[in-house]
Structure 1
Amino acid sequence: MSELNNADALKQLLALSYRLSTEKNTTKLLEDILMSAKALTHADGGTIYSVTNNHALKFETLVNDSLKLHMGGTSDTPINFDCIPILIDGEANKDALVALAAANHETINIEDAYQVKEHNTSAARAMDQKTGYRTQSVLTVPLENHEGDINGVLQLINAQDKSKVVPFSQQKTDLVLSLSSLAAVALTNKQLITDMEILFQSLAKLIARAIDEKSPYTGGHCRRVPELTLMLADAVNNINLGPLADFTLNADEKHTLSVAGWLHDCGKIATPEYVMDKSTKLETVFDRIEFVDAKFEIVKKQFEIEELKFPEKKDAIKDKQQQLVEDRQFIKHINIGGEYLPQPDVERVAHIAKKYNIEMNGQLEPVLNETEMSYLQIQKGTLSDEERNIINHHIDITILLLESLPFPKHLQNVPEYAGGHHEKMDGTGYPRGLTKEQMSLPARMMAIADIFEALSAGDRPYKKAKKLSECIKIMGFMSLDKHIDNDLFNVFIHEKVYVEYANKFMTDTQIDAVDESNIPGFTSLI
């Protein structure tokens, strides 16, 4: 077979250049480099290697037409050969041509592997003995990028001309060198992109960990939400029933969803710790319950003095002292917070504030001032309306921060996915009051993940850990009330996403039986 003319060679190199620039999968990219070089030189076989972090050559793809071999790469046959060290004791590994080429940054062209004296080809001959093959011409080319780094090695075997093995000509060598330059650039660009993706993902996880570390009570939330979001995304991808049967997320979209999950609470980096960590109602920078209790102690002393002054009123004073003990315990109890403070208890706080007075700076003051009374009258949890607004403001900060970042095209939906996890399908959520139709499906997935994680968490200071069945029941009512996406909730139940999550993150004491036939808002997809 005659040599390629310049026009044909250029055409093939241009076509290859385009493929190299568009291929995202490194394994396919390496195999494409090998197969293109093999086609350009009419080689019978070849191998391409990548460089590992410990400076060794890893077999990526091996092909041989005569032996009908295709190993590694896109084949179903893995390569189990050991990696080849480029250096041995700091010196070039002369026992392997590919290692020598990489170590010395040189192209090695051998006409006959059995006749050459200046290079060690014993490995090729040993392999020939096992396979019955005859290695003759060998071309070994390091893939060297513009910075002089070796990111792979290409080795071709037995150039063919009319079914006859011939040496690799200068033209073919030049073509492979041109190809290797293109390949090295493509591999470098791919590695740079991969490294940047890994770095960005690591930074996102670092921010999430920093936020989790801010609070001992919500630690792990920023880690669990992205995991649960992807569990639900996988379930939606796999479902072939119901209104979401045709919906799919590709690899880039799942990656975007993962990044958004890790960053969904990044705005909490600006939230004061005393609000995030508020485990009792009276806690601000410090827990004011001790200060309040000290005032009750003063009232107690006042009653004791009154008893000494007016012994004839001893029984009435004893009754007041007993009531004081009960009121004092009541204040300590409700300071802890809980799921709901009944209205009679709210009114009792106001009554206690008016009932007891202490002398401060020559003036009589109520045992509970207006601020303390308002905190103790919080009916759900431990946060006042003002503090809850501070907490809720984190989502505004999240959106502001994420929208300020110049995300590449495949990550441009991160702000939308991350910024919608407090929205409700009926438009009553925050911060933007979006409806279901105004939100993407991935954003709605994250809303479900954020809610279920919060419901099932066993580390909140103001509530006992809920049973799995109770969490699902609450989610069901939220689905009925159009707070979460009903279609996604049905998949969440049907595909047992809640079971997968519970087994991984909930305690054994929380996990109980769930009767799916009695879940509010759930419609079976069968």
Structure 2
Amino acid sequence: MTARFSLGHSPAFAEHPLYPQLDDGSLVLRCVVHPDDLRPDGVEVLLLDGSLLQAAPLGEWQALQTTLVSFEALSTALPLPVAGTLQELQTLLAFAAEQSHLRDKTRQLAQALHSKQGDLQRLVDVGLALSAEKDLERLLGKILTEGRRLSHCDAASLFLVDRRQAAQAQLIFKLTQNSSIATRFQEQRMPLTKSSIAGYVALTSTELNIADAYAIASEAPYRFNRSFDLQMGYRTLSLLAIPMLNHRHEVVGVLEFINCQGVSATSGEPEVIAFDDVMAASLRALASQAAVAIENRQLLDEISGLFDGFVQASVFAIEQRDPTSSGHSFRVADLCIALARQLPLAPLPQVSCHALNEEGLRELRYAALLHDFGKVGVREHVLTKAKKLPETVIDNLRYRVALAKESLQSQMLKRMLQAYRQQGALDEAQRLQLEAELARECHRLDGYLRQILLANEPTILSEGEFHHLQEIQSELVKSHDDSLTSLLSEGEFCALAVRRGSLTAEERSEIERHVVHTRDFLRLIPWTPALQRIPDIAGAHHEKLDGSGYPKGLVGEAIPYAARIMTICDIYDALTAADRPYKAAVPQEKALDILQAEVKTGLLDGDLVQVFIQSRCYLQPQLLALAPTGSFHRHVCDFEPSEHKHG
């Protein structure tokens, strides 16, 4: 026979004539009475006869996972005495033993495959978990936790490479975990050099598998830093340092796994063992997944920061056209977030059900910051129109009045000259009469000018206050070419007859179109799914619940809930911001009264206004900063009272 194997048999087989011939040292014979005799050490082949089947049922013998040979079948196949029987029996038993070996090997391979599949499944699960994590700090913690679970190690550390410094790249000791001792960890930065294990791995992209960190060869370019062990009373033994490579094969960080946990082959007690190749392969795969997840997270954070900077820079640039309203969009955004954060706390279920998650808050904030971006489409002379008539037109009116007065004086002097020519003299009474007439007419023209200047102020006027403008318009005066013209042109009269504010109907329409410009501009941006409602939210901040708003005249639920939040905050800031020519900045309590009045007239969401007032979210410190001061420039979101007058 070519190989020794063990053969189990019953006591009865020891009496068989073939037994002495088999007991020649070529195989190991073992007498068995019960299945327990083969636990835990078994045999390759078991001769199963009637006595063994009487001792235990067939199922228990089969559970031993050894090759069973029926002694009765064997006796039938090899009757005695037959020449060559022993050789055939040995061949048959050897074949049975080989089957047993193959079955054991197959079972071991199946177990290894199952274990490998389990490792692969765990890696897949880890990859999914890492890709789903949005917070970088939690992501790094998951990487270490999953790595320790895969490797059965006691501790792990994570280092990130920071190449943003122009002078020298840095190694950031970002996180550590240790099952044996509790540690208070603080992030550390150090120069990226080959002198440390993590630095060497990061700079060379080389994996280091060290059996004993205290036994590193003296000629190695790196050294193990023992300060942690000394301070904490810890003993680092086995250490596996793996570079985390991104898709460009650049090292973004280093994973260190410390003290792999195993069992002593001699004592069976737990002990620290070296990381084997199989374990290293699994951790290498984890490091690759971690590198992709970290880079993706950092890239998303950078994109988010870049976009946030773009939004703020856009708002800053646009508000430079309107210096006194600078800060309006930022204040409205802060107010919107302050109010939105009160939604889940609201006692009203119809409000709390609209609570926004972090993505919703971000969407609302961007919409609020950009809600007035469309004023780039409003002509500057309309946007900055402080009064009903521009100063150049007022100067022209002053010149027109002055010219009319000069014309009257010239007419008086002509009448005096004519009297001298006709009468040879001008009596004192006649002279005084002419001068009195001139003074009255000049005084009347000066009064007209004062009324024009007063009407030019964008106060709130009633219909009855326009008669004096009609009287002024009917006044005919001479122009520079001696032709007669109205003191007020039709366009000037229409501008001065504006009842509220300083804008004509056409100019007000142009101002209102800033919302359309905002919406159309924002629709050009390829928003992510989480932010795709920004154009509609920003474009609806002047809509009113009763349909009287603009630009679409949306009614009730058709107005996005976030836009209803913004409308309240926009009005409040417009009321409490810097002084306007036709209305001073109102006190907070008055502004809140106006909001409630707008609710009563069906313009604003009453539930939201109630939450806004009761939560006092408008009193947050960042919202109490003084509004900018300076000369007035009209803002597209200036609040003007509705047709329903507020008390």
TM-score (norm 2): 0.72
Which of the numbers 508, 513, 532 marks the counterpart of 1:412?
Answer: 532
CA distance in 2, matches of 1:51, 1:327: 77
In the alignment, is the contact (CA less than 8 A) between 1:49 and 1:61 conserved in 2? yes
> 1:101 and 1:255 mapped to 2: Cα distance?
39
What residue number does 2:174 align with?
A: 60
Partner of 2:435: 314
Listed one character per residue, the Cα deviations across residues 213-255 of structure 1 (whole Å, up to 9, x for unaligned) are: 1123432222222111111111223334564244421111101
**Within-5 A mapping of 1:161-240:** 161-162=262-263, 163-240=270-347
| 1:82 alignment partner, one of 170, 173, 188 | 188
CA distance in 2: counterparts of 1:201 and 1:68, whole angstroms: 39
Structure 1 residues 81 and 393: alpha-carbon distance in aligned structure 2, compared to 1, 3 A threshold = closer
Give distance in 1, aligned partners of 2:562 and 2:129. 31
Aligned partners of 1:263, 1:3: CA distance in 2, in Å? 59
CA gap of 1:25–1:58, structure 2 versus 1, over 3 A, is: same
SS in 1 for 2:608: helix
Distance 2:548 2:626 in 1: 30
1:374 matched to 2:494:
yes
- My pick for the range that moved more, 465-474 or 390-399, is 465-474
Partner of 1:101: 201
**Aligned counterpart for 1:268 among listed residues 362, 375, 397:** 375
**d(CA) in 1 for partners of 2:138, 2:589:** 47
Amino acid at match of 2:368: G
Contact 1:217–1:277, Cα closer than 8 Å, also in 2:
no
Aligned residue for 1:293? 398
Distance change (3 Å), C-alpha of 1:466 and 1:450: same
Report the RMSD for the aligned CA atoms in angstroms. Answer: 2.4
Give distance in 1, aligned partners of 2:457 and 2:336. Answer: 32
Measure, in 1, the Cα distance between the counterparts of 2:567 and 2:531: 19
Q: Is 1:333 matched up with 2:433?
A: no
Write the distance in 1 (CA, Å) between the matches of 2:145 and 2:581: 61
The answer to whether the 8 Å contact 1:456/1:506 transfers is no
Report deviation, 1:50: 3.0
Distance in 2, matches of 1:244 and 1:17, equals 38
Any unmatched runs of 5+ in structure 2? Answer: 1-110, 264-269, 416-430, 630-643
Partner Cα distance (1:335, 1:376) in 2: 6
Could you tell me which residue of structure 1 aligns to residue 257 of structure 2? 156
Aligned counterparts of 2:244 and 2:596: Cα–Cα separation in 1 = 58
Who wins on radius of gyration, i.e. which is larger? 2
User: What secondary structure sits across from 1:114 in the alignment?
Assistant: helix
Distance 1:198 1:121 in 2: 38
Unaligned regions of 5+ residues in structure 1, if any? 72-78, 87-91, 510-519, 521-526
Partner SS for 1:83? strand
Specify the alignment match of 1:47 in structure 2. Answer: 157
Instruction: Name the CA distance, whole Å, in 2 between partners of 1:502 and 1:316.
Output: 63
Higher mean displacement: 329-338 or 24-33: 329-338
Q: TM-score, normalised by structure 1?
A: 0.87
Q: CA deviation at 1:504?
A: 1.9
Give the 3 Å change call, closer, same or farther, for CA 68–18 of structure 1 in structure 2.
same
Farther-moved stretch of structure 1 (274-283 vs 309-318):
309-318
Q: How far, CA to CA, are the matches of 2:628 and 2:473 in structure 1? A: 43
Q: Which residue of 2 aligns with 1:135?
A: 236
Equivalent residue letter for 2:120: L
**Displacement after TM superposition at 1:356 (Å):** 4.0
CA contact (8 A) 1:211 1:269 kept: yes
1:145 matched to which residue of 2? 246
- Aligned-pair identity (%): 30
Q: Matches of 1:143 and 1:37 in 2, distance apart? A: 13
SS at match of 2:342: helix
Most deviating of 458-467 and 351-360: 458-467
* Contact 2:540–2:560, Cα closer than 8 Å, also in 1: no
Decide whether aligned partners of structure 1 residues 17 and 249 sit closer, same or farther in structure 2, where only a CA change above 3 A counts. same
